[in-house]
Amino acid sequence: MLARVREDIRVVFERDPAARSVGEVLLCYPGLHAQWFYRVAHWLWGRRLFLLGRLVSHLGRFWTGIEIHPGATIGRGFFIDHGMGIVIGETAEIGENVTLYHGVTLGGVSWRKEKRHPTVGDHVVVGAGAKVLGPITVGAHSRIGANSVVVKDVEENSVVVGVPGRVRRRTGLLAEEARHEDLQHNQLHDTTMELLQQMTARLALLEAELEQEESHRAAQQTVERNGYQGPWGI
């Protein structure tokens, strides 16, 4: 248990440059406290002590402002930055070294007792306010932009922005630095603008082709109207 606590503290220092001391991390990081509440609740839940598990989870929500259902599955290296307003549903699955910012929802879209929450792969960063909904899969090494709404599967090494979220694959680009997670969720593609630019370029090409066709048709009509004249005007 102590080894796991030391690992949690190390993760905070790796991903939050504002962390200054171990005491500050232990006392003032609600994301860390939420994980500890979750682990106790998850242990109880796994032993079918559902009421006690939900009670511990509820206490963690009251203490931290972060709601993690005890039935969720969370891997190692999980980091919650700030954390207020985060909701993680019962059947959510989170891989290793995942980072969530405040206001993130890993939510369900069904009332049936089935897999209804997202599966988030390893090394994923989910920006502030993003909503990932339904039993979808977010591939490893992907970034979800702030306030995006993701309702479809996301391939590995992708960037998702917008409402609904549009996926842009990061072909040939490294998703991680040598030592740190890819936290640059401010560097995102403007997929809407890119789509408009593509449409504008296509429209300009069509207009040029249409203008060329009309010019050619006008020349043909002039020849037909005046009759063909040879090189000596005969």
pLDDT tier for residue 32 given thresholds of 50, 70 and 90: very high
pLDDT above 80: residue 233: no
The per-residue pLDDT for 179 is: 47
Cis status, amide bond into 231, omega within 30 of 0: no
Are the C-beta atoms of residues 98 and 73 closer than 8 Å to each other?
no
Are the C-beta atoms of residues 183 and 14 closer than 8 Å to each other?
no
The half-sphere exposure of 171 on its side-chain side, counting CA atoms within 13 A, is 1
The structure tokens 């591939």 sit at 139
Per residue in 153-176, pLDDT tens? 998 888 888 887 777 666 545 444
pLDDT tier for residue 223 given thresholds of 50, 70 and 90: confident
Per residue in 34-53, pLDDT tens? 999 999 999 999 999 999 99
Q: For a pLDDT cut of 70, what percent of the chain falls above it?
A: 86
The per-residue pLDDT for 103 is: 94
Beta bridge partners of residue 158, listed in sequence order: 169
Per residue in 116-131, pLDDT tens? 999 999 999 999 999 9
By CB neighbour count within 10 A (0-12 exposed, 13-18 middle, 19+ buried), where does 200 fall? exposed
Query: What is the token pair recorded at 110?
Result: 């069904």
Predicted model pTM: 0.74
Sheet holding 149-150, edge to edge: 67-68, 87-88, 105-107, 131-133, 149-150
Q: Position 150: which residue type?
A: V
210 vs 101: CA distance, rounded Å: 50
Per residue in 49-90, pLDDT tens? 999 999 999 999 999 999 999 999 999 999 999 889 999 999
Query: For residue 81, which of 183, 203, 232 has the smallest C-alpha distance?
Result: 183
Query: What is the token pair recorded at 197?
Result: 């630019």
Q: For a pLDDT cut of 90, what percent of the chain falls above it?
A: 55
The per-residue pLDDT for 187 is: 58
Query: For residue 72, which of 61, 82, 57, 85 has the smallest C-alpha distance?
Result: 57
